[in-house]
A and B are shown apart, each in its own frame.
Chain A
């Protein structure tokens, strides 16, 4: 039992949960209104878009891939949504459908290049990162902004529904679906398998190409959904929407304990990661600390949580084996 307790405390999610609790307690004692329900809902509303991207980034990173293009795609989708609604005269509903289709196609482009040509995801999505943002800027010439959306549409970004922020159900739905896929289906297991070893997965009979393609298409669809929610929350769509969101999303996923090399990780870890960052950034405003500190602390947090989950293992391994052989086993497991 003692062993069980120890592994529990060494688990990434636990460390993160403790950090979250510590953050909460600290900000609660410093900021008078931090603990209020209004503020908690604010935190939720402000982190839905990044949360969506982070959740859907989790299976990608589980397969050992990465998607740098989600932030740019969010911008492109926001523009296309605005264009379909305002210039093409579509209703909000059909414009949203059209945007989701575009998201799926854009994700499909990433997927094709990555699976069919077997190109490294980092490079492919670095290219589409520029491409998607560039097309968004070119289409609007940077100037065009879409506003004056109907109130019924703005509702999902700004109002409450049954007492909770109206965008929360969308987020819960996506998070729930992705969680089930990752943790309760053979798909999730094959994503992990691919993350551990794509060749091994192939020999085990997993259709690696198709499984990989799904995660990128899924990311495209969810990025489109995030774009719609973003537009509803701000009441406007512009070509610079979502700049830099990919880094926030990746940070949250990694902070949540998913290995950047693939194979291990969890969706609930990612949710904790999103929460830790969101609470930190919100809390610092209540604690009246400069915003730059938030960025620095996020960076430090990232290194500390990773080090915290790696160090004990390294120490544990170094101790029993002692001298020469100790280093061998260690580097073999890490290779």
Chain B
């Protein structure tokens, strides 16, 4: 009897596997039908990590575009930024036979292998936020190059400190790929243009606001000549600002960074945080899905120089980069116009 039960279970398994065949034949879909006129397209939209307010606001725009275009949008990503998990989701989508994938890459090299595989199967790939290897995708929706972000941050820091003095960086983790990329360009800009400024240290905050606040508190007392804190992950901007405020150094130590308006509004208004640099994330999501749809439909091909993206109008294309426009600087004067 004991030996019989596993057999029963195996039989059940096989039966279940058999069941699944029926719907499969009923709906002969898959990647083959890409570009088919009547069928609803399925697009995958992957953030670097879920549960991140930045990508949630991107998704808002993506949902809007998906509704306009009448496509099905799959939103999935790792719960913590993890290249291995991103890979798995891409491969999962390949098997599911999505028509196109839009992805924000945690790590260039980590995901490109999976994306190339998808490309081979006829799935169109568009990257946004941060790029993959250029041969692994059709287009990159470029909200700002790492160079553009690095330079913008460094220039803003120089402007606020009068191009002289010490500053410190708070980053998410020492291994975060895109932040390391930005830091490279910050360093380059610093060396080239601002000889009187000095980057004293880089501290990780594990992408948590509480830890950023503690780190900034220690920084403020350890480096009494500090002129500015540059927070390059979004939770660190309000964290650093709160520390500066509590230390009574509002105005003497400036705070800038990359972050969302809603998280920083109060500090910008109080004058603790001088400027927050970001692009219009909702538009980024919207543009990405518009572009992904056009690529999947075959309407947008390599070599195009402009692209008409719904409510955004005509967008410029440089090479294989679709440009969203320059990073936007939120400050006291304009922050109230934005709600995301």
Contact = CB atoms under 8 A, between A and B. Distances in A.
* Direct contact between A and B judged by beta carbons closer than 8 A: yes
B299 interface: no
B12 A291 contact: no
Contacts of B1: 1, 4-5
Interface in A144-203: 145, 147, 154, 158
Q: Chain B: interface secondary structure?
A: helix
Contacts of A123: none
A147 B92 contact: no
A265 to B, nearest CB: 19
A143 B83 CA distance: 15
B173 A236 contact: no
B218 interface: no
Contacts of A39: 92, 95
A207 interface: no
Contact of B84 (A17, A32, A38, A233): A233
Interface residues of A, number: 53
B84 A230 contact: yes
Interface residues of B, number: 52
Interface string B75-89: 011111011100111
B175 A29 contact: no
Nearest to B180: A143
Given A21-B16, A137-B174, A291-B50, A285 B2 contact: no
A35 interface: yes
B17 interface: yes
Given A8-B5, A142-B174, A234-B113, A292 B79 contact: yes
A239 interface: yes
28 contacts: A14-B5, A21-B9, A21-B12, A21-B13, A24-B16, A28-B20, A29-B23, A32-B96, A33-B24, A35-B21, A46-B88, A140-B175, A142-B173, A143-B180, A154-B113, A230-B84, A233-B87, A234-B83, A234-B113, A235-B112, A235-B113, A239-B175, A240-B82, A244-B80, A282-B88, A285-B89, A288-B74, A295-B79
Interface of B: 1-2, 5-6, 9, 12-13, 16-17, 19-21, 23-24, 27, 29-30, 50-51, 74, 76-80, 82-84, 87-89, 91-97, 107, 109-110, 112-113, 117, 173-177, 180, 183, 204
